[in-house]
């Protein structure tokens, strides 16, 4: 039986009920002041708690689609290469560097930035919005090599899911080491990565919206961040030189920001992203009752009712194990048709809404993004 099977959940619930009944029935017999009775009481309490936790865990997993199978949960699933398809089958205002270090891995410790690049922890303030957030900037090895000393590099903003920290993009998904490996294999071009969390107004989930009377998150990501990064690093400022990539909430943000601002971002990648803004206790009132704003934040609706922006998009996820991702993605791709919005896809057979699934798609996704960013010359 599969991890998300209703039979597994029913069996777990039945075992939990049995554990509770057994505890109630056995408790009078275990009331004696002996070591065996004490051990018995302890065992029934632990067993009942474990059964309850198992059932609650299965309920949560079925609802949020964290893991799609036992292999996914244990990390023993298929980790082979994935295929990208062109269509879905079936100064005061500049970046402040906080710290810097070379990329850490088994074969790069202690090596020079010109060999492995450098990761810098930064704080990115917003000159226009007044927002700010901490993040990381990965500078590829070429940034430090004499042959590239006058080169301005393309850049990509990588956004994690809510309420995740930007460090997850390093510790969980390992963006810097993935780009470094792709560069060594000649599968991408050197790109500056700006690693960020999805909201510059924590603990509120802004869904990358300009909230009326509230945080202007869309403006922060599309105007403030590129301007601050360009002021601090040799990053290009021209058509096709900026892209976006993200997972979950970050994937939704990546698609939305690129579709709204094709003059800033020429390409975007969404890993298990959704297609309409979440509205819950963490977001608050994003639209202040304005239905036009709400519709505008629905990406499938936009493709059906507004001119299609000339951007390249890559959507990645699984057919099974990640809620309604696959049918929602089919609707999104169908709405794009054959217009100027070009959509490619990565479709895994199974995979939950988790870092293991996204890690499987990341190398191909970063390679695709590199192909769709211009390589400006000095």
Asked if residue 149 and residue 38 are part of one domain, the reply reads no
Q: For 279-292, how does the pLDDT look when each residue is reduced to its tens digit (9 = 90+)?
A: 999 999 999 989 99
Asked if residue 108 and residue 32 are part of one domain, the reply reads no
Asked if 155 contacts 140 with a C-beta cutoff of 8 angstroms, the reply is: no
Asked if residue 366 and residue 273 are part of one domain, the reply reads yes
Asked if residue 103 and residue 29 are part of one domain, the reply reads no
Asked if 140 contacts 192 with a C-beta cutoff of 8 angstroms, the reply is: yes
> Tokens standing for 271?
């890993």
- Helix ranges (H only) for the chain are 6-26, 35-64, 70-74, 113-116, 168-171, 175-184, 217-219, 225-232, 249-260, 291-296, 299-305, 325-336, 355-371
Asked if residue 341 and residue 238 are part of one domain, the reply reads yes
Query: Does 79 map to a domain?
Result: no
Asked if residue 140 and residue 40 are part of one domain, the reply reads no
Among 64, 92, 110, identify where a domain stops: 64
Question: Which residues have C-beta within 8 Å of that of residue 155, sequence separation ≥ 6?
Answer: 191, 192, 193, 194, 226, 229, 233, 235, 236, 241, 242, 243
- How many domains does the structure of the chain reveal? 2
Query: Does 378 map to a domain?
Result: no
Q: For 137-192, how does the pLDDT look when each residue is reduced to its tens digit (9 = 90+)?
A: 999 999 999 999 999 999 999 999 998 899 999 999 999 999 999 999 999 999 99
Q: Which residues pair with 314 in a beta bridge?
A: 269, 344
Residue 268 burial (CB count, 10 A):
29
Query: Does 341 map to a domain?
Result: yes
Query: Does 46 map to a domain?
Result: yes
Please give the full DSSP string across 21-64, using - where no structure is assigned.
HHHHHHGGGG-SSSHHHHHHHHHHHHHHHHHHHHHHHHHHHHHH
- Helix ranges (H only) for 157-261 are 168-171, 175-184, 217-219, 225-232, 249-260
Whether this model's pTM surpasses 0.85: no
Asked if residue 329 and residue 220 are part of one domain, the reply reads yes
Asked if residue 145 and residue 13 are part of one domain, the reply reads no
Q: For 3-22, how does the pLDDT look when each residue is reduced to its tens digit (9 = 90+)?
A: 556 676 677 788 788 878 87
Range of the domain at 16: 6-64
CATH at 309: 3.40.50.1820
Asked if residue 89 and residue 41 are part of one domain, the reply reads no
């Amino acid at each position: 039986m599969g991890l998300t099977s209703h039979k597994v959940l029913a069996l777990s619930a039945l075992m939990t009920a049995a554990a509770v009944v057994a505890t109630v029935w056995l408790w009078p017999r275990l009331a004696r002041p002996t070591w065996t009775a004490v051990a018995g009481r302890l065992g029934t309490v632990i067993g009942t708690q474990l059964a309850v936790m198992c059932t609650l865990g299965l309920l949560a997993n079925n609802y949020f689609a964290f893991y799609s199978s036992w292999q996914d949960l244990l990390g023993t699933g298929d980790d082979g290469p994935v295929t990208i398809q062109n269509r879905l089958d079936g100064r005061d205002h500049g970046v402040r560097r906080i710290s810097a270090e070379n990329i850490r891995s088994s074969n790069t410790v202690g090596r020079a930035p010109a060999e492995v690049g450098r990761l810098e922890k930064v704080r990115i303030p917003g000159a226009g919005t007044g927002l700010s957030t901490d993040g990381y900037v990965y500078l590829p090895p070429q940034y430090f090599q004499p042959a590239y000393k006058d080169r301005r590099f393309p850049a990509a903003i990588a956004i994690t899911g809510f309420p995740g920290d930007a460090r997850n993009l390093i510790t969980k998904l390992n963006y810097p080491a993935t780009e470094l490996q792709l560069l060594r294999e000649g599968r991408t071009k050197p790109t500056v990565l700006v690693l960020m969390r999805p909201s510059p107004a924590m603990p509120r989930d802004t869904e990358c919206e300009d909230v009326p009377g509230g945080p202007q998150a869309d403006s922060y990501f599309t105007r403030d961040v590129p301007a601050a990064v360009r002021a601090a690093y040799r990053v290009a400022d021209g058509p096709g030189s900026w892209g976006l990539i993200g997972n979950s909430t970050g994937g939704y943000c990546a698609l939305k920001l690129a579709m709204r601002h094709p003059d800033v971002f020429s390409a975007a990648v969404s890993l298990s992203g959704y297609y309409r803004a979440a509205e819950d206790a963490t977001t608050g009132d994003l639209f202040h009752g304005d239905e036009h704003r709400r519709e505008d934040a629905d990406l499938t609706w936009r493709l059906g009712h507004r001119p299609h922006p000339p951007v390249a998009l890559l959507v990645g996820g699984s057919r099974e194990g990640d809620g309604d991702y696959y049918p929602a993605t089919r609707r999104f791709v169908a709405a794009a048709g054959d217009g100027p919005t070009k959509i490619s896809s990565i479709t895994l057979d199974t995979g939950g809404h988790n870092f293991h699934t996204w890690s499987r798609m990341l190398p191909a996704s970063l390679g695709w993004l590199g192909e769709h960013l211009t390589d400006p010359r000095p």
